[in-house]
Amino acid sequence: MKPVNAVDELIEALRCLPGVGPKSAQRMAFHLLQHDPAGAQRLGAALARALASVRRCARCNTFTEEEVCALCASPKRDPSALCIVETPADLATMEQTMAYRGHYFVLMGRLSPLDGVGPHEIGLDRLLARATDGAVKEVVLATNFTNEGEATAHYIGEMLRDRGLRITRIARGIPVGGELEYVDAGTLAQAFYERRPA
């Protein structure tokens, strides 16, 4: 094995980031060392601190430093609604809508049968306990409209069926302000298949 010097090790370590190949990793490493040692110091400290203090919220499974995250602890949120999303990024996007005022559960993934990701890997047992805590009346399924996200929504719906909960799925279709002429055929076809009485 060749001896690993500190620069090579940094380049190698940066490659764990999504989409960072050897060239970008080298560019990042040289940038940090050459032009921004203070930034590098902050990055190192922030990483170490996050790793030491960040854990999963006991209620919604998202990242937090507390036992329960700020959103779950907030008295302003409606405890009767629980929205299921795949990732913390999806939660943040839902929040931007300002259309939803309830609570969340973050799966940190989706069912993906071809990759061997099943119900245990995405914590459906914890979701079941959370959704049946007595306060939740409606479960909103906001997983992605991919085949994996659809399968995830379906099986969560099946799991929670007959438990006295209202189960809803976010709608899909033509984008807001969309003109049919400019919408792709697949989206328009699915919007037609899922048309509703008007």
Partner 1 sequence: MSSRQRVDHQPAFVLHAYPYSETSLLVEAYTRAHGRLPLVAKGARRQGSALRGALLAFQPLTFAWSGRGEVRTLVRCDWQGGHPLPRGQALLCGFYLNELLLRLLPREDPHELLFDHYAQAVARLAAGAASAPVLRAFERRLLQELGYAVALERDAASGAAIEPDGTYRYEPERGPIPVLPGAAGGDPLLLKGRVLLALARDDYADAATAAAARDLMRALIDHRLDRQTLHSRTVFRALQDL
- Binding positions for partner 1, rule: CB under 8 A: 18-21, 111, 113-120, 124, 128, 146-147, 150-151, 154-155, 158-159, 184-187, 189-190, 193-194
User: Cα dist. 115→23, 25, 109, 165, 167 in Å?
Assistant: 29, 28, 12, 31, 27
Q: Is 106 in the site for Zn ion (CB under 5 A)?
A: no
How far, CA to CA in Å, does 93 sit from each of 8, 31, 142, 179? 37, 31, 11, 24
Q: What's at 115, amino acid-wise?
A: D
- Could you tell me the smallest distance in angstroms from the CB atom of residue 72 to Zn ion? 3
The nearest distance, CB 6 to partner 1, in angstroms, is 26
Q: Smallest gap, in angstroms, from Cβ of residue 64 to partner 1?
A: 27
Given a contact cutoff of 8 angstroms between Cβ atoms, the answer to whether 156 and 109 are in contact is: no
Half-sphere exposure of 197 (CA within 13 A, CB side): 0
Closer of 71 and 82 to partner 1 (Cβ): 82
Closer Cβ to partner 1, 6 or 114, answer by number: 114
Check binding of 60 to Zn ion (CB under 5 A).
yes
Taking CB within 5 to 8 Å according to partner kind, which of Zn ion, partner 1, none is near residue 72?
A: Zn ion
Minimum CB distance to partner 1 smaller for 49 or for 172: 172
Looking at the Cβ atoms of 15 and 126, the one nearer to Zn ion is: 126
Nearer to partner 1 among residue 116 and residue 134 (C-beta): 116
- For residue 143, count CB atoms less than 10 angstroms from its CB and return exposed for 0-12, middle for 13-18, buried for 19 or more: buried
Sequence-distant (6+) residues with CB within 8 A of 111 are 117, 118, 119, 122, 148, 151, 152, 155
Please tell me whether residue 130 binds Zn ion under the rule CB under 5 A. Answer: no
154 binds, among partner 1, Zn ion, none (CB under 5 to 8 A by kind): partner 1
Does 127 bind Zn ion (CB under 5 A)? Our answer is no
Least gap, CB of 59 to Zn ion (angstroms) = 4
Sheet bearing 78-85, strands edge to edge: 102-106, 78-85, 138-141, 166-169
